[in-house]
Amino acid sequence: MSQSYGNYQPEIYLNGLADQTPPFTTDPTRLAEAARERLADGPYWYVAGAAGSGATERANRAAFDRRRLVPRMLTGATERSLATTVLGEELAAPVLLAPVGVQGILHEDGELATARAAAGVGVPMVLSTASSHTIEDVAQANGAGQRWYQLYWPNDDDVTVSILDRARRAGFTTLVVTLDTWTLAWRPRDLDQSYLPFIRGVGCAIPFSDPAFRAGLAKPPEEDVLSAVLKWVPTFTGTDKTWDRLPFLRRHWEGPIVLKGIQHVGDARRAAAAGMDGIVVSNHGGRQVDGAVASLDALEPIAAAVGERLDVLFDSGVRTGADVLKALALGAKAVLYGRPYAYGLALGGEDGVRHVLRSLLADLDLTLGLSGHSSVAEVGPGSLSLE
């Protein structure tokens, strides 16, 4: 399976014989600059921007740069597998598409394009509550693909239960509960443009199509979008929950539950004690607490503390195949890929997301083998050690 991921490289070179170059850059660090040319200021900075001074976003990358793989030779890594198992689900590679909201501002097909590309490449997508398309439409676009659902936890229990029920019925297997964005951070790039898509009703397809939410409206969103927005925004943002509320989610979700946004060992332990199945060590790509610790620096102590008890996933700053390997070496079972695919979506819809994903997986496959591993299970602390 993973051999076919690496094959994107010879495919690209062979296309060169017909004077064809790849449709988009293969360098994930150049995707933002390419997308900049396509997008207006509002959508571009909504993706590229961060909280405050951007210190945490930079720290996320610096933490990857400080760590180095130490390649091993003559290990016979010709045949390789990227396959792994996360939360009892078999994944073709230790990579999922991170929940990214409001994809309709990047491309008209938005989450539908992402769902198709993810299914085609064999990577699970995590659908955001702030989707521009309904749960059911995204599920249909994703077809036989693997899909998880990310919850921004509404204040209204009836709405929460209704959304969870819809997600479950639409084939979403794992619930990802994002804790770090219970209210939006100070994001100067968005503030300077007074740009917030939700206020215009963009990224609200899930509540607007939800029977429990609609039941509380005097007029349906199609007739009075502003009133619907003014009801939804304080329903899904602005109120911090507490640990004692987690059993409510457990009662209403049959599958695995993962808490996203964990950075402290104590919180990771609490997640395990609360009977959660997994966590995502994440600082939301530096979009929430400016000056917060780099997510990769938080990963190692957290994985050491709870890795035996729950599945530890990671995001924030992953760009290349080597980055994936570094996160695995520090204890992650899989990573969530964020901004790069959002740029791919802006550049070319489904084709753009597919290209970005295939590029990451090819790079991962080649770097796995060239650093002396035949499978992701072999990647560990030794992969970063000189002795």
Ligand X SMILES: Cc1cc2nc3c(=O)[nH]c(=O)nc-3n(C[C@H](O)[C@H](O)[C@H](O)COP(=O)(O)O)c2cc1C
Contact residues toward ligand X (CB under 6 A) are: 46-47, 98-101, 128, 130, 150, 178, 260, 282, 284-285, 315-318, 336, 338-339, 342
CB of 363 to ligand X, least distance (A): 15
Length of the chain: 387
> How big, in percent rounded to 5, are the helix, strand and coil portions of the chain?
50, 10, 40
- Measured CA to CA, the distance from residue 27 to residue 149 in angstroms comes to 29
CB of 377 to ligand X, least distance (A): 24
The partner residues of 178 in beta bridges, in order of sequence, read 260
The CB-of-260 to ligand X minimum distance in angstroms stands at: 5
| Inter-CA distances, 137 with 109, 117, 171, Å | 11, 15, 12
Distance CA 22, CA 37 (A): 18
**The two structure tokens encoding residue 116:** 């198709």
Q: Based on CB atoms, which residue is closest to ligand X, 104 or 338?
A: 338
Cβ at position 76, least distance to ligand X in Å: 33
Compute the least distance from the CB of residue 143 to ligand X, in Å. Answer: 22
**C-beta closer to ligand X: residue 178 or 367:** 178
List 126's β-bridge partners, or say none.
Answer: 148
- Output the DSSP codes for 209-261: T-HHHHHT-SS-TTT-HHHHHHHHHHHHSS----GGGHHHHHHH--S-EEEEE
- For ligand X, the closer CB: 80 or 260: 260
Nearer to ligand X, 107 or 339 (CB): 339
Verify whether residue 373 is a known catalytic residue. no
Give the separation between CA 293 and CA 284, rounded to whole angstroms. 12
* CB 169, CB 225: distance < 8 Å: no
Nearer to ligand X, 2 or 282 (CB): 282
Between 5 and 46, CB nearer to ligand X: 46
Q: Which is nearer to ligand X, 124 or 285 (CB)?
A: 285
Tokens of 222: 């199609």
Tell me which residue has tokens 């035949």: 374
**Residue 51 to residue 361: CA distance in whole angstroms:** 29
Q: CB count, 10 Å around CB of 119?
A: 18
d(CA 125, CA 149): 8
**In one letter, which amino acid is 36?**
R
Task: Please state, in angstroms and rounded to a whole number, the distance separating the CA atoms of residues 306 and 169.
Answer: 31
The token duo for 350 is 């489904």
Catalytic annotation, pick one of 107, 133, 284, 355: 284
What's the closest the beta carbon of residue 178 comes to ligand X, in angstroms? 3
Count CB atoms within 10 A of the CB of residue 256. 19
Tell me the closest approach of the beta carbon of residue 181 to ligand X, in angstroms: 6
Q: Which residues are marked as active site?
A: 284
